[in-house]
Amino acid sequence: MFHHLSSPSKFLYEAQRVIVQSGAIILIEPSTSVMARIIYPNLFATEDYSLKFGSQSVLSEEWYSAKPNQALSYAAFKLERNRFANQFSGFGVPKLFHLPSGIRYLLSGGLNFRPLLGPRTMKLIRSIEKTTIGSAILRQLSLHWMIVIRRRVNRSMATTE
């Protein structure tokens, strides 16, 4: 849902405020793989997959977008990584993991379409995703990535037993 936020900084400030120490935010967001840049513009005509955010940072409080942008997580957590680290010092550096399920997602119909293959074939594809080689290859065709943003532990407040 991150790419649907009109003001990502407000979300991140609030998350930083309410998430317990050593807690985390886990987001599943559209990735920016080669396949994603081909597929998403054709599936979602209303969503912009360009990296045209203007001169303003997507993490600025003034930044506002009235429509979703598939590349928002890429801009916030990769392009603006240093700004994120300075602005949201309560969080550690975001970790991004490409998920190998892009082909399966497309063949399953995703969220909007009918499945193209039956359950047995989908189970076979899932078993390939679980192998080391299959996973490595399929990560290159990622449509989604998992973003893990951990809350820093405040050492001054941590107690030892």
How far apart CA 71 and CA 51 sit, in angstroms, is: 6
Contacts 24+ apart (CB under 8 A), 123-130: 129/100, 129/101, 129/104
How far apart CA 134 and CA 129 sit, in angstroms, is: 5
Residue among 98, 100, 95, 96 nearest 130 (CA): 100
Per-residue pLDDT reduced to its tens digit, 61-105: 777 776 667 788 888 888 888 999 999 998 998 999 988 888 888
What was the pLDDT predicted at 105? 83
The whole-model pTM stands at: 0.78
Which sequence spans correspond to the domains of the chain? 2-98+144-150
- The mean pLDDT of the chain is 82
Q: Is the pLDDT of residue 121 over 80?
A: yes
Residue at 70: amino acid letter:
Q
- Band of pLDDT at residue 59, cut at 50, 70 and 90: confident
For the chain, the DSSP string reads -GGG-S-HHHHHHHHHHHSPTT-EEEEEEE---HHHHHHHHHH-TTSB-S----SS-TTSTT---SS-BTTHHHIIIIITHHHHHHHTTTB---EEEE-TTHHHHHHHTTTTS--SS-HHHHHHHHHHHHSHHHHHHHHTT-SEEEEEEEBPP-TTT----
